[in-house]
């Protein structure tokens, strides 16, 4: 598979890189960003970052303020795009189609040929990226924001043996019951809501019980999407009383922006590194 490096920037002794490649899963050209920390004799672990609606791989790499801490902790960051791109199915609305892949495998026309984001993340992209990380430890975890928080949770909960930790900022926790999720799931998966459950973190948490990686969730109280799209009630209702692996934290006055992410990214990175070192 041909991979083209299209950007390279030095940051905190490491390298912020951007690549382009053809995806067999999505049948289109895709980009992803990869941060490699400064060279170290110690093995390097990997954190995945999944971005939210309308984002590309550039948003977090340019505004996430993670590179300093990642370099200090010897952690690489992989930032995929949020959806397929190019001359392929799209929608006029900003919350469906390109920029809004929801990290599922679509089963409905016109989306199903290209919108196989789960397979792309879980099967195709790792085979490319692992070889790009010098002295890779084999340890990985996953985090995300908003739609990407939903993505991080479903990927991590579906593969609990693979990921050391899961974290998210302002995640869509119960997409089957909020407008963003209902719209996307109806388009990508169809009107049979029973098929939605395998892509809903609230349903997956109930299914796996306490057999999941540690989870850290951060939600700002001033987030304008919180009440309608991001409410945690149903998700936390499925956290068993004996499950000490889920932390849900509200941050007073913080909103849905990358200012919130930049403020608390060090806390999230420390959470992931704690799991890597166990």
Measured distance CA(90)–CA(136) in Å, rounded: 36
Query: Could you tell me which residues are beta bridge partners of residue 29?
Result: 22
The 3-state DSSP class for residue 68 equals: helix
Measured distance CA(155)–CA(133) in Å, rounded: 21
Q: Tokens for 53, please give them.
A: 């609606």
Sequential DSSP letters for 43-63 = PEEEEEEE--TT--THHHHHH
Annotated active-site positions, please? 146, 223, 256
**HSE of 61 in the Cβ direction (CA atoms, 13 Å)?**
27
Cα distances from 14 to residues 17, 77, 196, in angstroms, run: 10, 11, 40
């Amino acid at each position: 598979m041909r991979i083209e490096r299209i950007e390279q920037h030095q940051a905190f002794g490491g390298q912020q890189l951007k690549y382009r490649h053809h995806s067999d899963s999505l049948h289109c050209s895709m980009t992803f960003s990869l941060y490699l920390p400064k060279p170290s004799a110690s093995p390097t672990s990997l954190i995945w970052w999944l971005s939210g609606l309308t984002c590309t791989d550039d948003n977090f790499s340019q505004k996430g303020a993670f590179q300093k801490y990642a370099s200090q902790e010897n952690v690489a960051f992989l930032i995929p795009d949020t959806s397929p791109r190019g001359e392929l199915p799209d929608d006029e609305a900003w919350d469906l189609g390109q920029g809004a892949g929801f990290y599922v495998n679509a089963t409905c026309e016109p989306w199903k040929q290209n919108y196989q984001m789960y397979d792309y993340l879980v099967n195709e992209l790792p085979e490319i990226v692992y070889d790009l990380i010098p002295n890779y430890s084999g340890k990985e975890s996953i985090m995300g924001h908003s739609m990407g928080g939903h993505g991080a949770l479903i990927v991590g909960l579906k593969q609990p043996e693979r990921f050391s930790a899961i974290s998210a900022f302002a995640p869509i926790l119960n997409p089957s019951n909020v407008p963003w999720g209902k719209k996307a799931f109806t388009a990508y998966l169809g009107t049979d809501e029973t098929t939605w459950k395998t892509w809903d973190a609230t349903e997956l948490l109930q299914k796996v019980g306490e057999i999941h990686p540690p989870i850290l969730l951060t939600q700002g109280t001033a987030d304008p999407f919180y009440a309608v799209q991001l409410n945690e009630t149903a998700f936390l209702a499925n956290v068993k009383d004996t499950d000490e692996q889920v932390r849900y934290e509200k941050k007073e006055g913080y909103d849905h922006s990358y200012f919130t992410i930049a403020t608390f990214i060090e806390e999230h990175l420390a959470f992931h590194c704690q799991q890597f070192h166990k």
